[in-house]
């Protein structure tokens, strides 16, 4: 980050306090206000493969990439990313970026069910819609955050538009065409009895656009191999953070993906106690990891880093680890 950018961040932190207010309370109030007031702006653009809807939060920051998210099958941007992006510690990070949350076609709130026989875009075509979004918003580069099918879409986009992707956070990526692992993942991902899982299972089974969800699911199952090969032209060129739940259904696929990417550009985060959707179950640990990822790219102001990292480094290292540490206890 340039000095000007660092200064910009520090200046915004110097807010006058109301009488009797401590800095902590003022900060919390500001945070709550920001979350309440920023409802996001939803837009749609036409693309060669149909229209696509996305919601933009925050104001564009000069010379900074947009954070662009792509959700998994069965979810939309809100159900997939709200717990992570509204997590308290996340605010300090994302306030420095504009966020563009894409809804796969037919997944946006209130989306009508597609007519029978509608040809849903392939995952490659979903990736080809992204340039239309960026052009509309006039953004030249992104940091992508994707889960499952969304991670695949962003990877495909990064392969075809490497110059526009500064970094990728890929949760539960499976770069290969559908195999037995998909069946296992589908069966296990929303199994279990935690309240959260119940809630999400309920959302999906009662979704008014269940037919649309099935179309996205079919496109995911019909994906082709990404064919990553370390050292070849077909690999991700940007910094990548791979994330998967320890013992989660996608673990093997993500491990294999890690072996196909450039080790100097890739970090691999296996999270304990996170199940099939770490961004929902472990927003705190993921926020922490995301912060280090951005820091590695030179994007975090030092004032924010020191405060957060002092208090959190220990908890992160005990909760999430690099590949290989299998001795932790879990519940
Ligand atoms: C955001 O600030 O980026 C955000 C807010 C609500 C839901 C999802 C994302």
Q: Which domains, and CATH codes, for the chain?
A: 36-296 (3.40.50.1820)
Distance 81 CA to ligand 1 centre (A): 7
pLDDT at 185: 63
The overall average pLDDT reported for the chain is 84
Burial group, residue 117, by CB count within 10 angstroms (0-12, 13-18, 19+): exposed
97 lines ligand 1 (CB under 6 A): no
71 lines ligand 1 (CB under 6 A): no
Strand partners, 55: 42, 101
85 lines ligand 1 (CB under 6 A): yes
pLDDT at 46: 97
In contact, 19 and 11? CB cutoff 8 Å? no
pLDDT at 201: 83
**Euclidean distance between CA atoms 149 and 216, whole angstroms:** 9
Please state the atom number of ligand 1 nearest to the C-alpha of residue 67.
3
pTM higher than the cut 0.75? yes
241-298 pLDDT tens trace? 999 988 888 899 999 999 999 999 999 999 988 878 899 989 999 999 999 999 999 9
**CA-proximal residue: ligand 1, atom 8 (nearest):** 82
3-state SS assignment for residue 171: strand
Furthest C-alpha separation in the chain: 63
128-156 pLDDT tens trace? 999 999 999 999 999 999 999 999 999 99
99 lines ligand 1 (CB under 6 A): yes
Q: Token pair for residue 44?
A: 């749609």
59-107 pLDDT tens trace? 888 889 999 999 999 999 999 999 999 999 999 999 999 999 999 999 9
Q: Are strands 50-57 and 99-103 parallel, antiparallel or unpaired?
A: antiparallel
Distances (CA, A) of 300 to 30, 123, 252, 255: 20, 32, 32, 28
**Euclidean distance between CA atoms 152 and 123, whole angstroms:** 8
86 lines ligand 1 (CB under 6 A): yes
Under the banding of pLDDT at 50, 70 and 90, the label for residue 36 is low
In contact, 168 and 143? CB cutoff 8 Å? yes
Under the banding of pLDDT at 50, 70 and 90, the label for residue 163 is very high
Whether residue 191 has pLDDT greater than 70? no
CA atoms within 13 Å, Cβ hemisphere of 307: 8
Under the banding of pLDDT at 50, 70 and 90, the label for residue 183 is low
Whether residue 236 has pLDDT greater than 90? yes
**Euclidean distance between CA atoms 267 and 256, whole angstroms:** 13
The torsion of the CA quartet 325, 290, 88, 6, rounded to 10 degrees, works out to 140
Q: Quickly count helices (H) and strands (E) in the chain.
A: 13, 9
**CA-proximal residue: ligand 1, atom 6 (nearest):** 82
Distance 49 CA to ligand 1 centre (A): 26
3-state SS assignment for residue 304: helix
Distance 220 CA to ligand 1 centre (A): 25
Taking the CB of residue 277, how many other CB atoms lie within 10 A of it? 25
pLDDT at 315: 42
């Amino acid at each position: 980050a340039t000095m000007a950018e660092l200064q910009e961040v520090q200046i915004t932190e110097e807010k006058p306090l109301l009488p009797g207010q401590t800095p902590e309370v003022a900060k919390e109030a500001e945070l709550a206000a920001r979350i309440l007031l920023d409802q996001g702006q939803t837009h749609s653009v036409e693309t060669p493969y149909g229209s696509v809807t996305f919601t933009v939060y925050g104001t564009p920051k000069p010379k900074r990439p947009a954070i662009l998210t792509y959700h998994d099958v069965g979810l939309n941007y809100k159900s997939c990313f709200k717990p992570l992006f509204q997590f308290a510690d996340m605010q300090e990070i994302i306030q420095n970026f504009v966020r563009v949350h894409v809804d796969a076609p037919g997944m946006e709130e209130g989306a009508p069910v597609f007519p029978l026989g509608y040809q849903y875009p392939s995952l490659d075509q979903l990736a080809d819609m992204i340039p239309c979004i960026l052009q509309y918003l006039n953004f030249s580069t992104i940091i992508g955050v994707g889960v499952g099918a969304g991670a695949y879409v962003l990877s495909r986009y990064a392969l075809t538009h490497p110059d526009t992707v500064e970094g990728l956070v890929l949760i539960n990526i499976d770069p290969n065409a559908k195999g037995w692992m998909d069946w296992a993942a589908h069966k296990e991902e929303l199994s279990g009895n935690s309240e959260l899982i119940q809630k999400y299972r309920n959302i999906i089974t009662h979704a008014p656009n269940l037919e649309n969800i099935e179309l996205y699911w079919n496109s995911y199952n019909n994906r082709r191999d990404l064919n990553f090969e370390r050292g070849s032209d077909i690999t991700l060129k940007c910094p990548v953070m791979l994330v998967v739940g320890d013992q989660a259904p996608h673990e093997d696929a993500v491990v294999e993906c890690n072996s196909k990417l450039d080790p100097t550009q890739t970090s691999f985060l296996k999270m304990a106690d996170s199940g099939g959707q770490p961004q929902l179950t472990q927003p705190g640990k993921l926020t922490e990891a995301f912060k280090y990822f951005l820091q590695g790219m030179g994007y975090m102001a030092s004032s924010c880093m020191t405060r957060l990292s002092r208090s959190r480094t220990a908890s992160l290292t005990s909760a999430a680890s690099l590949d290989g540490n299998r001795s932790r206890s879990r519940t």
